[in-house]
Structure 1
Amino acid sequence: MTNTPSPPVPGTHRWVSLMVHDLVASRRFYGGLFGWEFDEGPSPLGAYVRALREGHPVAGLGEMAGEMAGGLRRVTAWLPYIATNDADATAALIRECGGTVAVGPLDVDQVGRLGIAADIGGAAFGIWEGGPRRSGRYHGVEGAVSWNELFAVETSGVGKFYERVFGYDVGPEPAQPPGSDFLTLRLGSRPVAGIRGAAGALPRDRGPHWLTYFSVVDLDDTLERVVALGGRRLTEPESSPFGVWARASDPEGAPFAVIVPTKPSGD
């Protein structure tokens, strides 16, 4: 079956990217872990490459310019980009709802209009106004984006933020155990992303953040390769209604999750 480009539906998570300190080393890590290949991204984004699997775009990797004041290193983290029909109106609504907009919105040739924002808890995410991808999204079982999940102090307040900004239907996830502090963001009946109340489990060095799940075939083998390639295994495998998963981090400390999903990932 041919996987053809599709127009963006507002509220869908259309892309993930990671800004790193050493782009060459990060390409080596993620290429070795997920079998990604890379091509050059849009030049206005600086040192930036697109990760490909079987010719389909999966994610983006870019290199940070310089350090913060005082010689401090910026924290690296995967960033989901959420589709919108009007990036400027969405940026204004983010501010109105108590969030912040750190970058843009700005035009990027052959990509669209992008912005980088943070919700009321400080978790960063991107907004993207653009046309269809030049190539359809990769839906394979190895190295595809399977899910994005927000790790927050609590779910109620930040859930209302995303509900108002992106028009999600926000509610408990029936598949989670009773009493779980977990919400699912939906467009109609379609699950788009999750919010997990992590409270005291949030890392001190990053606070609330989005976590990207990448699909794999063999979880144990993947976690062994994470360590062999210089990353860290952060948790033991855990079973959920959606698959067996675990958290890990790359050599620069950016957290991500790997999952053997119970069904193939979707857009």
Structure 2
Amino acid sequence: MTRDLATAQRFYGEVVGWRFRPARLGEAFSVAFQDRVPVAGIGALAADLAMAAAWTPYFAVDDADLAVDRIRERTGTIAVGPVSFDSGGRAALVADPDGAVFGIWEGAVAADWRVGKGPAPAWLELRTRNALDAAMFYGAVLKWATGRNGCCEVSYEEDQVVLRQDGEPVARLNSGPVEIASYSPHTRPRWHVHFRVPRLRPAIDAAVALGGRAVSEVTANAMERWVTLRDPDGALFTLTTSVGADSAADFG
């Protein structure tokens, strides 16, 4: 969600390489495509809403009403919904017990689309107070590790809770110093999205030229290099690429 749809489309079009089409939800919404695959949605916030611009992940559920009931039972918060859309789907905007915001979606999901695969977001990260407690909450609400078809597997690896689908990591839950009552999206518990780009340096340069800014140093491990940025409206996200994609000259 952003305050200026046109600016956001230009920014992410240049930085991540997306193209946009109108959504069936009205003029204030658009769908981002990469390689002709839908990868994200962008919506315009009403000017009088006191909400921060932010990326929010939506998780598919079989029944939105049952999922909302499970969230309430486990001391989560329901902000909006479930609401029905003309497209046939139903959605709700909610928060976990520590205040991290996420959405649930009941409806059609493309069979060949998921986080971590192809042009979809590289992975999701939950930054929270206690990753094990969070895993218990999300596992019960979203039915992780239940053995059903398409279900995610959960493991504990190197002080992280790792969520995998078909053996590939799609999300990581990290414990750390967060401020439960903070109004800053950078310090409170939150879901964080990682987008893959072909090369990191040109994407960073494009982001800065269009009013964004880096809020972390470029970091690397044996496989990937990444950096966290804010877009012109303040929404946080991370760009990542394989180490071999960037030349040594890109980073001195």
Q: Report the TM-score when normalising by structure 2.
A: 0.83
**Per-residue deviation, residues 207-258 of structure 1 (Å, max 9, x unmatched):** 1111111001111221122111110101112123652111111011100011
- Identify the residue that residue 249 of structure 2 maps to in structure 1: none
SS in 2 for 1:196: strand
Q: Percent identity?
A: 35
8 Å contact from structure 2 (residues 21, 31) kept in 1: yes
Supply the distance in 2 between the matched residues of 1:140 and 1:190 (Cα, whole angstroms).
12
8 Å contact from structure 1 (residues 116, 124) kept in 2: yes
Deviates more, 1:112-121 or 1:217-226: 217-226
Residues 90-101 of structure 1 mapped to structure 2, 5 A cutoff = 90-101=67-78
- Identify the residue that residue 133 of structure 2 maps to in structure 1: 157
Mind listing any 5+ residue stretches in structure 1 that lack a counterpart?
Answer: 1-18
1:186 Cα deviation from its structure 2 partner: 3.7
Does residue 166 in structure 1 map to residue 150 in structure 2?
A: no
- Identify the residue that residue 40 of structure 1 maps to in structure 2: 22
SS in 1 for 2:204: helix
8 Å contact from structure 1 (residues 168, 186) kept in 2: no
1:224 and 1:262, CA in 2 relative to 1: closer, same or farther beyond 3 A?
closer
- Identify the residue that residue 176 of structure 2 maps to in structure 1: 198
Code of the residue aligned with 1:40 in structure 2: it is: P
Supply the distance in 2 between the matched residues of 1:242 and 1:91 (Cα, whole angstroms).
38
Supply the distance in 1 between the matched residues of 2:179 and 2:75 (Cα, whole angstroms).
24
Runs of 4+ in 1 over 6 A off after TM superposition: none
Residues 1-267 of structure 1 mapped to structure 2, 5 A cutoff = 19-43=1-25, 47-68=28-49, 73-133=50-110, 140=118, 144-169=120-145, 170-173=154-157, 176=158, 180=159, 182-186=160-164, 189-200=167-178, 205-206=184-185, 207-240=188-221, 243-261=224-242
SS in 1 for 2:162: strand
Code of the residue aligned with 1:205 in structure 2: it is: S
8 Å contact from structure 2 (residues 126, 173) kept in 1: yes
8 Å contact from structure 1 (residues 112, 129) kept in 2: yes
1:120 Cα deviation from its structure 2 partner: 0.9
Aligned residues: 232
Q: Which has the higher contact order (CA 8 A, sep 6+)?
A: 1
- Identify the residue that residue 14 of structure 1 maps to in structure 2: none
SS in 2 for 1:49: strand
Supply the distance in 1 between the matched residues of 2:171 and 2:46 (Cα, whole angstroms).
30
1:91 and 1:159, CA in 2 relative to 1: closer, same or farther beyond 3 A?
same
Q: Report the TM-score when normalising by structure 1.
A: 0.78
1:35 and 1:63, CA in 2 relative to 1: closer, same or farther beyond 3 A?
same
Mind listing any 5+ residue stretches in structure 2 that lack a counterpart?
Answer: 146-153, 245-252
1:133 Cα deviation from its structure 2 partner: 3.2
Code of the residue aligned with 1:106 in structure 2: it is: V
1:189 Cα deviation from its structure 2 partner: 4.5
Code of the residue aligned with 1:123 in structure 2: it is: A
Supply the distance in 2 between the matched residues of 1:249 and 1:191 (Cα, whole angstroms).
25
